[in-house]
Structure 1
Amino acid sequence: MSHEHRHQSHPRIVARLKRAEGHLNAVVAMIEAGRPCLDVAQQLQAVESAIRSAKQTLIHDHVDHCLDARNSEAEREELKAITRYL
């Protein structure tokens, strides 16, 4: 759909993703510096968790917004489509 979707959770999601971006950059630096694999794996797990949490928040917020009986058929189809990312 081409219209904008803005929800109250978006600023928090953006902040979470920017933190994850910083952590991911740190992981790259850790690998380049030859840090132990265990340390790198732990940081990658943290990045993965942050991204998963951001995705779930975005999708749940979108679903909550779209659960309105007045929504069009196209909006209901979009709702069905987005749930595959959960």
Structure 2
Amino acid sequence: MSPPTSAHEHAHQSHDAIVKRLKRAEGHLRSIVAMIESGRACVDIAQQLHAVEKAVCQAKRTLIQDHIDHCLEHTVSALASGEQAPLEEFRQITKYL
């Protein structure tokens, strides 16, 4: 396993948009908890949960695609020099697709 890297090293252009989307989903999730606590209809709650789930899935997809787009070149050049750690990282992230 490769050593931990700095947060800045893996900062991609899409990360700000992903954080914004997740914060919106976080607020939405809080409102769903309030819906449950106030006794709202299950179908309304399920609909809102579905929306949050889709937002989180889209954030994950964007993160993984961005990582692949920006880190694939590094992985290929590292493999050419015999380094295996980037390939293992690539394998690890693709299991979340």
TM (norm. structure 1) is 0.94
Q: Which stretches of structure 1, 4 residues or more, deviate above 3 A after TM superposition? A: none
Question: Percent sequence identity over matched residues?
Answer: 59
Q: Distance in 1 between matches of 2:53 and 2:26?
A: 11
Equivalent position to 2:19, from 14, 17, 28 = 14
Matched positions, count: 86
Structure 1 residue runs of 5 or longer lacking an equivalent are: none
State which structure, 1 or 2, has the greater radius of gyration over its C-alpha atoms. 2
Q: Distance in 1 between matches of 2:21 and 2:90?
A: 23
Q: How far apart are 1:60 and its partner, in Å?
A: 0.6
2:86 paired residue number: 75
Q: What SS does the corresponding residue of 1:85 show, helix, strand or coil?
A: coil
Task: Give 2:95's aligned amino acid.
Answer: R
Q: What is the aligned-residue RMSD (CA, Å)?
A: 1.0
